[in-house]
Amino acid sequence: MGVEYRQTPSILSTEDLEQRRARLEEHRARLREVFGPFRHTCQVATVHARSGEVIEACDGVFIASRTVYMALGNIADGGAEPAVFYTTLEKYWTAVDDLGKAVRLEGP
Protein backbone atom coordinates (compact mmCIF):
# COMPACT_ATOMS: atom_id res chain seq x y z
CA MET A 1 0.00 0.00 0.00
CA GLY A 2 2.82 2.37 0.85
CA VAL A 3 4.26 2.03 -2.64
CA GLU A 4 0.94 3.18 -4.07
CA TYR A 5 0.61 6.00 -1.55
CA ARG A 6 3.96 7.39 -2.69
CA GLN A 7 2.37 8.06 -6.09
CA THR A 8 -0.51 10.04 -4.65
CA PRO A 9 1.15 13.48 -4.26
CA SER A 10 1.67 13.82 -8.01
CA ILE A 11 -2.01 13.04 -8.54
CA LEU A 12 -3.08 15.54 -5.89
CA SER A 13 -0.98 18.24 -7.52
CA THR A 14 -3.20 18.11 -10.62
CA GLU A 15 -4.75 21.57 -10.80
CA ASP A 16 -7.79 20.75 -12.95
CA LEU A 17 -10.32 19.41 -10.44
CA GLU A 18 -12.11 17.13 -12.90
CA GLN A 19 -8.84 15.65 -14.12
CA ARG A 20 -7.67 15.21 -10.51
CA ARG A 21 -10.94 13.45 -9.66
CA ALA A 22 -10.52 11.08 -12.61
CA ARG A 23 -6.90 10.36 -11.71
CA LEU A 24 -7.84 9.76 -8.08
CA GLU A 25 -10.54 7.31 -9.10
CA GLU A 26 -8.02 5.41 -11.25
CA HIS A 27 -5.60 5.47 -8.34
CA ARG A 28 -8.25 4.18 -5.95
CA ALA A 29 -8.97 1.35 -8.40
CA ARG A 30 -5.29 0.40 -8.26
CA LEU A 31 -5.37 0.58 -4.46
CA ARG A 32 -8.29 -1.87 -4.47
CA GLU A 33 -6.20 -4.24 -6.63
CA VAL A 34 -3.27 -4.26 -4.22
CA PHE A 35 -5.53 -4.35 -1.17
CA GLY A 36 -6.12 -8.11 -1.49
CA PRO A 37 -2.46 -9.09 -1.07
CA PHE A 38 -2.08 -6.38 1.59
CA ARG A 39 -5.03 -7.76 3.54
CA HIS A 40 -3.68 -11.30 3.21
CA THR A 41 -0.32 -10.17 4.58
CA CYS A 42 -2.02 -8.50 7.55
CA GLN A 43 -4.00 -11.69 8.24
CA VAL A 44 -0.90 -13.89 8.04
CA ALA A 45 1.01 -11.56 10.34
CA THR A 46 -1.87 -11.64 12.82
CA VAL A 47 -2.07 -15.45 12.76
CA HIS A 48 1.66 -15.79 13.37
CA ALA A 49 1.84 -13.09 16.02
CA ARG A 50 2.69 -14.26 19.50
CA SER A 51 1.63 -11.14 21.34
CA GLY A 52 -1.37 -8.90 21.60
CA GLU A 53 0.82 -5.92 20.80
CA VAL A 54 1.69 -7.28 17.35
CA ILE A 55 -1.93 -8.16 16.62
CA GLU A 56 -3.01 -4.68 17.69
CA ALA A 57 -0.27 -3.11 15.56
CA CYS A 58 -1.34 -5.18 12.51
CA ASP A 59 -4.89 -4.00 13.02
CA GLY A 60 -3.62 -0.43 13.30
CA VAL A 61 -1.90 -0.62 9.92
CA PHE A 62 -5.01 -2.12 8.35
CA ILE A 63 -7.28 0.59 9.80
CA ALA A 64 -4.89 3.40 8.90
CA SER A 65 -4.71 2.17 5.32
CA ARG A 66 -8.50 2.15 5.05
CA THR A 67 -8.57 5.70 6.44
CA VAL A 68 -6.19 6.89 3.71
CA TYR A 69 -8.30 5.20 1.05
CA MET A 70 -11.50 6.79 2.34
CA ALA A 71 -9.80 10.20 2.52
CA LEU A 72 -8.84 9.89 -1.14
CA GLY A 73 -12.47 9.20 -1.96
CA ASN A 74 -13.55 12.30 -0.06
CA ILE A 75 -10.94 14.37 -1.89
CA ALA A 76 -12.07 12.99 -5.26
CA ASP A 77 -15.69 13.87 -4.41
CA GLY A 78 -14.70 17.41 -3.40
CA GLY A 79 -15.63 16.80 0.24
CA ALA A 80 -12.09 17.26 1.55
CA GLU A 81 -8.96 19.17 0.67
CA PRO A 82 -5.81 17.33 -0.46
CA ALA A 83 -4.15 18.19 2.87
CA VAL A 84 -6.34 15.51 4.47
CA PHE A 85 -4.36 12.89 2.55
CA TYR A 86 -1.11 13.98 4.19
CA THR A 87 -2.64 13.88 7.67
CA THR A 88 -4.02 10.37 7.16
CA LEU A 89 -0.82 9.21 5.47
CA GLU A 90 1.24 10.34 8.44
CA LYS A 91 -0.97 8.18 10.67
CA TYR A 92 -0.49 5.26 8.27
CA TRP A 93 3.31 5.55 8.42
CA THR A 94 3.15 5.84 12.22
CA ALA A 95 1.10 2.63 12.31
CA VAL A 96 3.65 0.89 10.07
CA ASP A 97 6.45 2.06 12.37
CA ASP A 98 4.51 0.85 15.43
CA LEU A 99 4.10 -2.56 13.79
CA GLY A 100 7.83 -2.78 13.11
CA LYS A 101 8.61 -1.93 16.73
CA ALA A 102 6.08 -4.46 18.05
CA VAL A 103 7.52 -7.22 15.85
CA ARG A 104 11.09 -6.43 16.95
CA LEU A 105 10.06 -6.51 20.61
CA GLU A 106 8.35 -9.84 20.12
CA GLY A 107 11.66 -11.37 19.17
CA PRO A 108 12.35 -14.78 17.61
30-57 mean pLDDT: 88
Phi-psi region of 72 (alpha: psi -120 to 50; beta: other; left: phi over 0): alpha
Q: Which amino acid is at 48?
A: H
Q: Residue 105: its pLDDT value, please?
A: 85
Write down the pLDDT at residue 81: 95
pLDDT at 104 over 90: no
pLDDT of residue 83: 95
Rounded Cα distance, 102 and 85, in Å: 26
d(CA 88, CA 71): 7
Average pLDDT over the chain, rounded to whole?
91
Average pLDDT over residues 53-72: 93
pLDDT category of residue 108 using cuts at 50, 70 and 90:
low
43 band by pLDDT with thresholds 50, 70 and 90: confident
